A = this chain, B = another copy of it.
Amino acid sequence: MKIVVDAMGGDYAPTAIVSGVVDAVEEFDVNVILVGREDEVKAELSKHNFNKARIDLLHAPDVVGMHEPATVTLRKKKLSSISVGINLLKRDPSCDAFISAGNTGAVVAAATINLGMLEGVERPAIGLVIPTLKRFAFLIDVGANADPKPQHLMQSALMARVYAKEVLGIPNPAVGLINIGEEASKGTGFEKETYKLMEKRVANFIGNIEGNEIFSGKADCIICDGFVGNIIIKISEGLMESAAAVLKREIKKAPLAILGAMLMKPRLNHIKKLADYSEYGGAPLLGVNGLVMISHGRSSPKAVKNAIRATMREIEHNINTVMVSEISR
């Protein structure tokens, strides 16, 4: 397996990216091509000992900033690590996938334009593996398409089922549609139409699920538009951070509580690990004609390594081929 990795993407690039890649080639049977500014990436690589046969380097002089507007930037920076990396994946049949922790909008745009769409899929969607009270769930779309049509959500649901089955190993994934009530008649015209389409076409569709059921484990695949999905993951992050901040503040007010927190620490750390997205790898960009994985902008070396592991599972299970055959049925 050969994976192309954007060395310049994310808040801690290239340091964290290179470090994660070195760990990955050490631990897994995978080769990596790092794409980015040659001198900077070389300087990072020189800090590590690793099997030189496993990591290659491809120079890309431009870097897309994390907050630059995607489409403008892509036109101006044709030699960015994102564009060069995506093009390498497209042209070189020995390359299996592309991973970036960079500007999400730019990755989505570059992948959509250069790789094109999978047969039967009209729009890309970003999925995310989230922890639930039972096991894991696959939430899609978390931000590729803020204004989709009902059939786009239906296509995402079909792709999500393949992902949950093949990559997460869930035998017959239950699919739920995010809505503001259980009944098919709830929500706006958009949700009602999506419900009807999914009822007809998606196996094991369990109907609407409400906001409070997302983390309950009721559904294995949770379908929503990219606007709502973005709000869901950000509010979850924000709420857990706020809760942790309040917890710390309150504990400090009482010496006995400080002692209590010390005694609880190993369990609290375990929970923190359970809730840590970086444990589960990145967020696959589904629907494009090629395997593309988006890693969190705040990616640590561990997150990069886990993104590579998750991508290897996608390659192994040949998910895009399975998706196309599922959608064409």
A: which residues have CB within 8 A of B? 69, 132-133, 143, 146-147, 178, 180, 183, 185, 187-189, 210-216, 226-228, 230-243, 245-247, 250-251, 253-254, 256-257, 259-268, 270-271, 274-275
18 of the cross-chain contacts (CB-CB < 8 Å) are A133-B242, A146-B187, A180-B226, A210-B234, A211-B234, A211-B237, A212-B237, A214-B238, A227-B228, A231-B231, A236-B239, A246-B271, A246-B274, A247-B271, A250-B270, A256-B263, A257-B264, A264-B264
A187-B227, A239-B240 provided; 9 other pairs, C-beta below 8 A?
A180-B231, A211-B232, A211-B233, A211-B236, A212-B238, A213-B238, A214-B235, A259-B260, A260-B262
Find chain B residues with CB under 8 A from A210 CB.
230-231, 234
Find chain B residues with CB under 8 A from A270 CB.
250
How long is the Cα–Cα vector from A180 to B235 in the complex, in angstroms? 11
- For residue A256, which residue of chain B has the nearest CB? B263
Of B146, B262, B263, B274, the residue contacting A180 (CB under 8 A) is: B146
Contact B261 A264 (CB under 8 A): yes
Contact B250 A267 (CB under 8 A): yes
Interchain nearest-CB distance for A300 vs B (Å): 18
Known A147-B188, A237-B212: A271·B250 in contact at CB below 8 Å: yes
How long is the Cα–Cα vector from A214 to B233 in the complex, in angstroms? 12
Interchain nearest-CB distance for A28 vs B (Å): 30
Determine the main DSSP class of A at the interface with B: helix
Interchain nearest-CB distance for A249 vs B (Å): 9
How long is the Cα–Cα vector from A58 to B22 in the complex, in angstroms? 75
Known A133-B246, A189-B147, A242-B133: A251·B232 in contact at CB below 8 Å: no
Contact A241 B257 (CB under 8 A): no
How long is the Cα–Cα vector from A147 to B251 in the complex, in angstroms? 43
Interchain nearest-CB distance for A219 vs B (Å): 13
**Which 5 residue pairs across A and B have the least CB separation, nearest first?**
A211-B234, A260-B263, A212-B238, A260-B264, A211-B235
Contact A242 B215 (CB under 8 A): yes
Among A132, A231, A241, max chain B CB count under 10 A is at A231
Find chain B residues with CB under 8 A from A213 CB.
238
How long is the Cα–Cα vector from A275 to B148 in the complex, in angstroms? 34
Find chain B residues with CB under 8 A from A69 CB.
183, 185
Find chain B residues with CB under 8 A from A188 CB.
146-147, 227
Interchain nearest-CB distance for A131 vs B (Å): 9
- For residue A212, which residue of chain B has the nearest CB? B238
- For residue A230, which residue of chain B has the nearest CB? B180
Find chain B residues with CB under 8 A from A227 CB.
180, 187-188, 228
How long is the Cα–Cα vector from A233 to B180 in the complex, in angstroms? 11
Interchain nearest-CB distance for A84 vs B (Å): 25
Known A246-B274, A254-B267, A260-B263: A212·B185 in contact at CB below 8 Å: no
How long is the Cα–Cα vector from A227 to B181 in the complex, in angstroms? 10
How long is the Cα–Cα vector from A183 to B212 in the complex, in angstroms? 29
